[in-house]
C-alpha cells in the first residue's frame, strides 16, 4: 500500500508512530551511553520512563503494538517495522529491542554513577 492510498488517519498514525519509534531508539541509545559512561541525569530518567511505558504498551499488545487493531481499522494493514525491515527481521525486532533495553537497564544498575569531583580541600 502506497502513501497516497492511506487514509488521513493512517497517515497521521504512521507519522506519530515514526516519531514514537525514533524517541524509543534515542532513549535506548541514551540508556546505553549513560550505562557505559556511568552518567545519571534527568534525560536518563526520562528515557528510562519512556522505555518502561513502551514496554508496558507492548505487553498490553501481546508483543505487538497495542494500536495495531486501530491501525488496521484506519486502512493500514502493514505492521510498522515491516515498512523498514523484511518480515522476518520485523518479527524479531521487538524481542531484540526488548532484550537490548533489559540489558541496558542491568548495565545501568551494575555500573554505579561516577562521583562528581568536588573542590579540593
Q: Is residue 69 part of a domain?
A: yes
Q: Is residue 119 part of a domain?
A: no
Q: State the residue range of the domain holding 15.
A: 8-110
pLDDT at 121 over 70: no
Q: Is residue 35 part of a domain?
A: yes
Q: Is residue 79 part of a domain?
A: yes
Q: Is residue 44 part of a domain?
A: yes
- Categorize the per-residue pLDDT at 63 as very low, low, confident or very high, splitting at 50, 70 and 90: confident
Per-residue pLDDT of 7-47, as tens digits, reads: 999 999 999 999 999 999 999 999 999 999 999 999 999 99
Please give the tally of structural domains in the chain. Answer: 1
Q: What percent of the chain has pLDDT over 70?
A: 95
Q: Is residue 3 part of a domain?
A: no
Q: Is residue 118 part of a domain?
A: no
Is-above-0.85 flag for pTM?
Answer: yes
Q: Is residue 90 part of a domain?
A: yes
Contact (CB, 8 A) for 77 and 5: no
Amino acid at each position: 500500500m502506497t502513501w497516497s492510498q492511506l487514509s488521513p488517519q493512517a497517515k497521521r498514525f504512521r507519522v506519530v508512530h515514526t516519531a514514537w519509534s525514533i524517541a524509543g531508539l534515542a532513549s535506548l541509545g541514551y540508556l546505553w551511553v549513560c550505562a557505559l559512561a556511568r552518567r545519571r541525569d534527568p534525560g536518563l530518567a526520562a528515557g528510562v520512563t519512556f522505555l518502561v511505558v513502551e514496554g508496558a504498551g507492548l505487553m498490553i499488545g501481546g508483543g505487538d503494538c497495542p494500536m495495531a487493531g486501530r491501525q488496521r481499522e484506519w486502512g493500514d494493514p502493514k505492521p510498522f517495522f515491516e515498512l523498514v525491515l523484511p518480515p522476518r527481521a520485523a518479527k524479531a525486532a521487538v524481542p531484540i529491542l526488548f532484550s537490548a533495553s533489559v540489558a541496558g537497564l542491568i548495565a545501568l544498575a551494575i555500573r554505579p554513577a561516577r562521583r562528581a569531583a568536588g573542590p579540593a580541600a
